[in-house]
Amino acid sequence: MYRLFRRFEWLAFGMVTASAIACAGFIVAARCGVSVQRLADALAANAAACEQASPPASCEQLLAGWKEAK
């Protein structure tokens, strides 16, 4: 009986912890105005940019692109 209780306690604690982390994430996202769709689009665009095989650029070109993105 004790082993069963310990396993249940471990599982319940894990579920409570996971739900608390997810809840905190949703609260932060709501307060900061982050939308899931915008985040997914940004990740997809970043993945597509990383897949393109391009020769290394000079520092000036990289800085110019970074400043445009800001």
Taking only the tens place, the pLDDT of each residue in 23-62 is 988 888 777 776 767 777 777 776 555 555 455 556 777 6
- The whole-model pTM stands at 0.44
Q: Which pLDDT score, from 0 to 100, does residue 20 have? A: 94
Specify the number of domains making up the chain.
1
**CA dist list (Å): 59 to 11, 20, 33, 63:** 51, 43, 33, 6
63 is in which domain, residue-wise? Answer: 2-69
Question: Which one, of 36, 38, 46, 39, lies nearest residue 69 by Cα?
Answer: 46
**CA dist list (Å): 18 to 22, 24, 25, 29:** 6, 10, 11, 17
